[in-house]
Structure formats: structure tokens, C-alpha cells
Structure 1
């Protein structure tokens, strides 16, 4: 079945223009008969509706861009922080805590993550502190 535009182009090439063409019946695939005038009216209405929709889209403007979701990648720090068992002297314990603080600041880690990382490195009697 030829499209409407193909039928109209064919009619122009055959010289079928004017009122006699517009009344020329076309047999549709569903068994109905429709004239070229009816087809043109339907196409004009379709063009009008599409133009109206396009105007609405133009008036509405572009959609606001949505911000991209942010997330934080937290590095594995278990190799950077030594394990502590509680048998060390006070200066060693302070150095261990300072190492955790420096690592946390360097990586910009949230405090809860820093605390959990430190707790994970406690072994033996230090787990009971």
C-alpha cells in the first residue's frame, strides 16, 4: 500500500491536479474508500496538531538539568594503620592514634569511618579498652 505522500507525488507526476484529482477516490487497505481531499484534510490537521505541540515544547523551555548523584570512594586503610594489642607504651599508643588522625585527614574520611577503621585494627587485650 502506497503512503499518502507517495500517492500525492504520483498524482502530481501524472498531471492529476485540481478539483478532479481531489475528488479522486483511493481504496484503503481496510476496504474503505477515501478521497484525496479527505487525505489532505487529515494531513493538514496532523500538521496543525504537531505545530501546536512543538509550540508548547518551545514555550516550556528546556528541562532543568538534574545534579549528578555524588558518592565517596573510601580507600582500604587496613595496610596503612598497624594493629595494636594494648601492650605498647603510652608514646606508641599516641603515635598510633596520630597515624589514624593523619590518614583520616589526608583521605578526607568521615569520623564514623575513621572510628570503625581504628576499631578494626585493635587486637587482643586492646579490644577490651
Structure 2
């Protein structure tokens, strides 16, 4: 479940993993499931190498996830988050746009790019 993740007052769930720099999405780390109380939204992130630039606040990875969510017409928003724990880092942030709360996030993409620093 999501007890290890920061959920803000807007019901956005903030990832714990730094996606700054270059990340590689492969067929072994590209499935993502986002669950609400009534639906499970599953997307497959296209394989490739994606760059996230902290100072420009720009992420090819966030852009491709947003495209997949939009293509599938899922009520899920994705953002590039900036966290400041011991160090500054970029992370993935998800929110349901239909007013429901995210109950769970899982899949190989979650394990690789969202779950831990």
C-alpha cells in the first residue's frame, strides 16, 4: 500500500526514487498499475532512455508517461516533483483527476522508478 509515501492535501502521491539524469526503461521495468477504489489503470511505458533535468524542471520520462495516460484516457495526472530530503532530487508524482484517491500503485515500473531512493 502507500503508507511509505508522502500523500499531500491534493491526494498526490509522491515517489521516493530519484529519476534525475538518465534512466532506462526496458521490457523488464515498464508496467505500471494505479488503483482507485473502483478501477485499476494499467499502462506500459515505452522502452527507451529518458532524461530528467533538475534545473530546467523538465523530464522526458514524465512526458512519455503523461502521453500513455492520455492515450488510454485514464483519469490520472503525472507531475515532475522536486523533493528536498537530505539532498534535492526529482521524483514522479501521481494524482487521480476524477476526485478519487489512489489506493495502490504497483508494477515493475513502480519497483524501479517510484518505490525507493
With normalisation by structure 2, the TM-score equals 0.23
Q: Greater share of helix residues, 1 or 2?
A: 1
Q: Greater share of strand residues, 1 or 2?
A: 2
With normalisation by structure 1, the TM-score equals 0.22
More contact order relative to length (CA 8 Å, sep ≥ 6): 2
